Amino acid sequence: MLVVGPEDEFTKSLASELTADMVFLARRTFPDGELQPRILAGSEQVLRGETVVLALRMKAAACRPNDYLVEVLLTLRNLKREFKVGRLIAVIPYFPYARQDEIFRPGEPLSSKYVADLLYHAGADAVLSVTVHLHRLKRFGDLFDEIPGVNVSGIPALAREVGRFDLSDPLIVGPDEEAIIWAEEFANHVEASDYTSFVKERDRDTGEIKMTVKEFDLTGRDVVVVDDIVSTGGTMAAAIAAARRMGARRVFSAFVHPVLAQGALDRILGAGGDVIVATDTLEWAGSKASVIPELAAEIRRVA
Ligand code: R5P
């Protein structure tokens, strides 16, 4: 088995966990924005017929899911067509367009399904992702008609990291009703008995957030706000501010995917967040929790 990816810690750790060899990928952007992911295999023979894991992550803060998707598609196609690899496992830790898992208004595309189709047609024989935002579809595998799609949870990695702090009578909070599943899973991992969710309404046109909170006396208690994605940071910041107002001792902000649009971190810290913990599903220097153990276990299963 070989792991193909950029020459970074993520690729190296994944290869080490899988006791696989590595082939690096150089990512180039031309002045007009076109992309050229180049496989540095030396010779095509290195990869021919091998089981290959493509481990490519989107860059946090850059907010370019379209660029990322094109890089992944070009690389999958290249590995299959030119390098003639055997089984090709695509690790897409942050699955772009996952939030569009339903046609909310007539005429919208079912983007998550179409992205899955593109990955299959580019050459993926299996796709693994992490904590995919599929609240309506429920099973990530249902996006794929011909190949397995495996959704690996990023919550254990967050719980391992936050669990290092000595939590005082913690309340685990999902910032909106959909996030109750992450809050419950996290609470089970850190053996916290108390978890809840707030209620968020977002205006579909303006993106404006209105949050309704349940009232708690949080004096002396730690609060961990758990979500799958932080993009603008608006959802996380609203939940943190509510926990602060209710007297929380410390507020942890734990999220799987640090998409982090401009200003997101300032928004979280400005709302009163004490500790930020995110996983390494995107390229971000601040990621403290690694999903590699869980990913490697599932890769071994589908390889
Ligand atoms: C929404 O359903 C997700 O679970 C996140 O809460 C949301 O994507 C976060 O977005 P933002 O950081 O822009 O509020």
Listed by start position, the domains of the chain span: 2-153+290-302, 155-278
- 121, pLDDT greater than 90: yes
**Quick one: pLDDT at residue 53?**
98
Largest Cα–Cα distance of the chain, in whole Å?
Answer: 64
The overall average pLDDT reported for the chain is 95
Half-sphere exposure in the Cβ direction for 56 (13 Å, CA) = 26
**Quick one: pLDDT at residue 137?**
79
DSSP state of 219: B
Does residue 231's CB lie within 6 angstroms of at least one atom of ligand 1?
yes
CB atoms within 10 A of CB 31: 5
Asked if the domains at 2-153+290-302 and 155-278 fall in one CATH topology, the answer is yes
DSSP state of 142: G
Does residue 235's CB lie within 6 angstroms of at least one atom of ligand 1?
yes
Percent of the chain with pLDDT strictly greater than 70: 100
Element (H, E) at 76: helix 65-81
Are 148 and 170 within 8 A, CB to CB? no
CATH class of this structure's domain 2-153+290-302:
alpha beta
DSSP state of 107: T
Query: What is the 163 CA–ligand 1 centroid distance (Å)?
Result: 23
Which single residue is written with the structure tokens 């590699």? Answer: 292
- 107, pLDDT greater than 80: yes
> Of 181, 231, 232, 276, which is best to mutate to test ligand 1, by the most ligand atoms within 8 angstroms of its C-beta?
231
The Cα 277–Cα 79 span in angstroms is 34
Q: Atom 7, ligand 1: which residue's CA is nearest?
A: 229
Which residues carry out catalysis?
A: 200
pLDDT band at residue 18 under the 50/70/90 scheme: very high
- Rounded to an integer, what is the distance from CA 163 to the centroid of its chain? 20
Are 212 and 198 within 8 A, CB to CB? yes
Atom of ligand 1 nearest to the CA of 209: 14
Are 18 and 294 within 8 A, CB to CB? no
Fold for 155-278, please state it.
Rossmann fold (3.40.50)
**Quick one: pLDDT at residue 280?**
98
Atom of ligand 1 nearest to the CA of 234: 14
Q: Atom 9, ligand 1: which residue's CA is nearest?
A: 230
The 10s digit of each residue's pLDDT in 257-283 is: 999 999 999 999 999 999 999 999 999
